[in-house]
Chains A and B, each alone.
Chain A
Amino acid sequence: MNLLGLAFKNLCHRKIRTGLTILGVGTSIAVFVSLVGLVGIFTDQFRQMYKSRQTDLIVREKGNFDFLSSGIDEAYADKIIKIPEIVSISKILIDFSLFGTKNYFLVLGWDQNSSLFSKLKIQGRRPENEDEALVGLTISRKLNKKIGDSIEVKGSRFTIVGIFESKSMFEEGSLVILLEKLQKIKKVPGKVTLLNLVVNKDGFYGGKPLREKEAENRIRSLITQMLPDIEVRNVDEMVSADNTVNLFLNFAWAISVIAFITAILGIINSMVTSVLEQTSKIGILLAIGWRKSRILSLVLYESILLGVSGGIFGLILGYGIMNVLMCLPQLQNIGRIDYNLIFMAKVIIISLAVGFLSGIYPAVRAILIKPIEALRYE
């Protein structure tokens, strides 16, 4: 029997209290897992969408709260394309639209000859007229729409001419119509939300090849000199600097911190009670010659075991909650749950830290017990 085994047996002996504490810690950890996990799904799908388009740089309006509120002149594309390293440029106008009574989908406006169509696996064809639409597989399945059916977007009726699959679930939950039509629907003529740039990173300047970062910085500087009211970001910056994503993430962390504090207080309560209950038994260990450091370790082990067990339970519960949430109509199209081992490892490390922090006060109380007083305790 070692100290960890003793700690484990002590916890098993107090079945009900241990169970309730693990339940409490697990619920707190589950709140963190599900909230941060959902934001993670959202950002991963964003990143995946840009990657599937082979996006190198994104041009958007400077100083906007989020990408959806960005609006830039589509004529900027004609100026930017003159930069020799730019391989292709795609205009994108984005909107959200309600289909039926509870399903929100992304509506994308693209040029008819946009290179973005070539990144999709299309059954049927791309839209050629203003009353035609290409729908993602998720919309097709969800709304039970097939080629030839019609679909209404903000009062305009479209005929579905193709159904597409994408590497991004986010994109698969969207509907693509011609850019001009969406500009009319949104009443933003000549405006786009973003410009999607593909860069030639193997380009040569002054006889020297340009590395990726150098090419990126050179293009950024050329564009911002030319058009000072816009900003140029790469995919990671675009995702991490998006205020909506950050707002969700900060909110998720704020709630999680409250949940962690609740978990810590739960473990402290459980451990202090057990230290008080075991005062005489801790006293006898000190009387027979156990070092205080061993008593300290014993209490910390118990508390860490509670934290880690709560973490494992919280992971299971958190992913369970996420699965339930992903069945809600509002969240069905944002992506699929990623059972990321690194995230799970981080959760276990956080749980271990929660357990350790919670154990400090009860452990200090335990080593302050004087054997002679402990033996008089009962």
Chain B
Amino acid sequence: MNKEPLVEVINLSRYYKDGNVLALDRVNLKVSGGEFLTIKGSSGSGKSTLLHIIGGLDLATSGEIYFQGQPAGNVYRQQGFRLNHLGFIFQAFYLWPALNVLENVLLPLMESSLSRQLKLQKAQSAVDLVGMSDKLNTPVNHLSIGQRQRVAIARALVMDPKLILADEPTGNLDSKNTENILTLFRDLKKHKNVTIVMVTHEEKALTFCDRWIQLSDGRIQ
């Protein structure tokens, strides 16, 4: 693990509904490079909001975020920043049902200028990493729920991001698949040195991560 913070959140607040609902209240957080951090909390605690703001999908009302020491406001505006540095995984997978496994993983690469051959190689490696190489040409709607989440993880990994943001990735999975996915995250962190920030209310996740924090009413406990 790299001691230098990859992401630093300083005094971050987020209000909703014309300032009447406080989702995040002066949150301070450092995420080191190569760290597997779990953000735990009940529904409405603000954990997904924090993840979305770190990922540049939502804006903070106040406070600052730094990515590799640079103000996030500047780096997130760069063309292709999210594509090249961040990987997203969601509870609902958001796979394209018209496409097979390989094609879904190729989606982020469609924005890249790499050669067709290289794109295919990268996509196949990502599929291989999540243990789905025997299902390359299978339509995603023929896969089990656990396999679909693996495809979503491969899609998040295919651009070799520095940071993976996972929002309740095991929320739709049974206990066996939950364990498999958490093991996969731990292995990815170990072997690829990927930084993972995962939001969950799954107690089991705490045993797989390096560190966890608890959010309650928008505050870190």
Contact = CB atoms under 8 A, between A and B. Distances in A.
Co-assembled chains A and B: yes
Interface of A: 1-3, 6, 9-10, 12-13, 280-281, 283-285, 287-291, 294, 371-372, 375, 378
Contacts of A13: 97-98
A3 B109 CA distance: 12
B155 A288 contact: yes
Interface string B78-104: 011111101110101011111100010
A280 B111 contact: no
B166 interface: no
A287 B98 contact: no
Given A6-B99, A10-B98, A371-B57, A285 B83 contact: no
A288 B82 contact: yes
A1 B82 contact: no
Given A9-B99, A372-B52, A287 B106 contact: no
Given A6-B110, A289-B108, A372-B52, 14 more contacts: A2-B110, A3-B110, A6-B96, A9-B98, A13-B98, A281-B94, A281-B95, A284-B88, A287-B55, A287-B57, A287-B88, A288-B87, A290-B107, A290-B110
Interface hub of A1, A6, A285 (most chain B Cβ within 10 A): A1
Contacts of A291: 79, 111
B98 A284 contact: no
B107 A285 contact: yes
Interface of B: 52, 55, 57-58, 79-84, 86-88, 90, 92, 94-99, 103, 106-108, 110-111, 155-156
A291 B111 CA distance: 8
B98 A12 contact: yes
B96 A372 contact: no
A283 B81 CA distance: 16
A93 to B, nearest CB: 67
A245 B81 CA distance: 62
Contacts of A6: 96, 98-99, 103, 110
B110 A372 contact: no
17 contacts: A3-B110, A6-B103, A9-B99, A9-B103, A10-B98, A13-B97, A280-B92, A281-B96, A284-B88, A284-B90, A284-B94, A287-B55, A288-B82, A288-B108, A288-B155, A372-B52, A378-B92
The 9 residue pairs across chains A and B that have the minimum distance between CB atoms: A289-B83, A13-B98, A284-B94, A289-B82, A9-B98, A372-B57, A372-B58, A288-B108, A10-B98
Contacts of B83: 288-290
A288 B107 contact: yes
A290 B103 contact: no
B98 A289 contact: no
B110 A1 contact: yes
Contacts of B98: 6, 9-10, 12-13
A375 B57 contact: yes
B210 to A, nearest CB: 25
A283 B103 CA distance: 18
Most chain A CB atoms below 10 A, which of B81, B86, B97, B110: B110
Contacts of B55: 287
Contacts of A9: 98-99, 103
Contacts of B86: 289
Most buried by A among B81, B86, B98, B156: B98
Nearest to A374: B94
A284 B88 CA distance: 8
A60 to B, nearest CB: 62
A371 B95 CA distance: 15
A174 B56 CA distance: 78
B111 A375 contact: no
Contacts of B103: 1, 6, 9
Contact of A283 (B94, B110, B155): B94
A144 B106 CA distance: 69
Contacts of A285: 107
User: Of residues B52, B86, B94, B96, which shows the largest number of chain A Cβ atoms within 10 Å of its Cβ?
Assistant: B94
B73 to A, nearest CB: 16
